[in-house]
Amino acid sequence: NVNIVKNICCLGAGYVGGPTMAVLASKCPNIKVTVVDIDLNKIAAWNNQNLDKLPVFEPGLDKIISKVRGKNLFFSNDIEKSIKDSELVFISVNTPTKIKGFGAFYASDLKWVESSARQVAKYASGHTIVVEKSTVPVKTAELIKKILKSSNSSNKKKENSFSVLSSPEFLAEGSAINDLINPDRVLIGGDNEESIKKLCAIYENWIPKEKILVTNIWSSELSKLTANAFLAQRISSINSIAAICEKTGAEIKEVSAAIGSDTRIGNKFLLSSPGFGGSCFQKDILNLVYLSRYYGLDHVAKYWENVISLNNWQKERISEVIVDKLFGTITGKKIVLLGFSFKANTNDTRESPSIDIAKNLLENGAKLVINDPRVSNKQIELALNQPSKEIDHNVEGIWYYEEDILEAVKSADAIVILTEWQEYKNLNWELISKSMRKPSWVFDTRGIINRREIDVTPINLWTLGKG
- CA-based nearest residue to 448, from 424, 412, 414: 424
Query: How many CA atoms are closer than 13 Å to the CA of 116, on its beta-carbon side?
Result: 31
Q: Please say whether the beta carbons of 133 and 94 come within 8 A.
A: no
Known catalytic membership, residue 10? no
67 annotated as belonging to a binding site for a ligand = no
173 annotated as belonging to a binding site for a ligand = yes
Residue (112 or 424) nearer to ligand NAD, CB: 112
Residue nearest to ligand NAD (CB): 14
350 annotated as belonging to a binding site for a ligand = yes
User: How many C-beta atoms surround the C-beta of residue 299 within 10 A?
Assistant: 7
Instruction: Assign 3-state DSSP to the chain and report helix, strand, coil percentages, each to 5.
Output: 45, 15, 40
The stretch near ligand UGA (CB under 6 A) out of 24-32, 275-283, 328-336, 383-391 is 275-283
DSSP state of 210: G
**Chain-centre distance of CA 159, in angstroms?**
39
Please report whether residue 417 would count as binding ligand UGA according to CB under 6 A. Answer: no
Q: Which residue in the set 92, 167, 319, 347 belongs to the binding site for ligand NAD (CB under 6 A)?
A: 92
- CA-based nearest residue to 198, from 118, 113, 123, 128: 128
Please report whether residue 276 would count as binding ligand UGA according to CB under 6 A. Answer: yes
Size of the site for ligand UGA (CB under 6 A): 20
Q: Which residue in the set 94, 163, 195, 273 belongs to the binding site for ligand UGA (CB under 6 A)?
A: 273
- From residue 444, alpha-carbon distances to 139, 264, 418, 436, 452 in Å are 42, 30, 7, 16, 14
Please report whether residue 444 would count as binding ligand NAD according to CB under 6 A. Answer: no
Please report whether residue 342 would count as binding ligand UGA according to CB under 6 A. Answer: yes
Please report whether residue 132 would count as binding ligand UGA according to CB under 6 A. Answer: no
Whole-number Å distance between alpha carbons of 308 and 285: 8
Q: What is the tally of helices (H) and strands (E) in the chain?
A: 17, 14
100 annotated as belonging to a binding site for a ligand = no
425 annotated as belonging to a binding site for a ligand = no
Please report whether residue 172 would count as binding ligand UGA according to CB under 6 A. Answer: yes
Q: Which residue in the set 22, 171, 180, 321 belongs to the binding site for ligand UGA (CB under 6 A)?
A: 171
Q: Which residue in the set 164, 222, 235, 355 belongs to the binding site for ligand UGA (CB under 6 A)?
A: 235
With CB under 5 to 8 Å by kind, the binding choice for 235 among ligand NAD, ligand UGA, none is ligand UGA
Q: Which residue in the set 37, 87, 169, 356 belongs to the binding site for ligand UGA (CB under 6 A)?
A: 169
- Residue-by-residue DSSP string for 284-320: HHHHHHHHHHHTT-HHHHHHHHHHHHHHHHHHHHHHH
Sequence-distant (≥ 6) Cβ neighbours of residue 259 within 8 angstroms: 265, 270
Whole-number Å distance between alpha carbons of 342 and 351: 7
Please report whether residue 420 would count as binding ligand NAD according to CB under 6 A. Answer: no
User: How many C-beta atoms surround the C-beta of residue 374 within 10 A?
Assistant: 18
Omega before residue 439 within 30° of 0, cis: yes
- What φ, ψ does residue 76 adopt, rounded to 5°? -140, 155
Size of the site for ligand NAD (CB under 6 A): 27
Please report whether residue 287 would count as binding ligand NAD according to CB under 6 A. Answer: no
DSSP state of 84: H
Residue (304 or 399) nearer to ligand NAD, CB: 304
The stretch near ligand UGA (CB under 6 A) out of 168-176, 240-248, 295-303, 332-340 is 168-176
Sequence-distant (≥ 6) Cβ neighbours of residue 125 within 8 angstroms: 84, 158, 160
What string marks each residue from 181 to 220 as x (binds ligand NAD by CB under 6 A) or -? Answer: ----------------------------------------
The stretch near ligand UGA (CB under 6 A) out of 37-45, 71-79, 265-273, 409-417 is 265-273
Residue (12 or 373) nearer to ligand NAD, CB: 12
Please report whether residue 90 would count as binding ligand UGA according to CB under 6 A. Answer: no
Taking CB under 6 A as the criterion, which residues in 120-179 touch ligand NAD? 134-135, 169, 171, 173
Please report whether residue 91 would count as binding ligand UGA according to CB under 6 A. Answer: no
Q: Which residue in the set 279, 282, 354, 419 belongs to the binding site for ligand NAD (CB under 6 A)?
A: 279
With CB under 5 to 8 Å by kind, the binding choice for 398 among ligand UGA, ligand NAD, none is none
Q: Which residue in the set 33, 36, 245, 375 belongs to the binding site for ligand NAD (CB under 6 A)?
A: 36
Please report whether residue 221 would count as binding ligand UGA according to CB under 6 A. Answer: no
Whole-number Å distance between alpha carbons of 423 and 356: 22
Sequence-distant (≥ 6) Cβ neighbours of residue 6 within 8 angstroms: 30, 31, 32, 87
What does R_g of the chain's alpha carbons equal in angstroms?
24
Residues of the shown chain interacting with ligand UGA in the complex, contacts defined by CB under 6 A: 135, 169-173, 228, 231, 235, 269-271, 273, 276-278, 280-281, 342-343
Catalytic residue IDs: 280
Q: Which residues are annotated as a binding site for substrate?
A: 170-173, 224, 269-273, 277, 343
Question: Which positions make up the binding site for NAD(+)?
Answer: 37, 42, 95, 135, 173, 283, 350
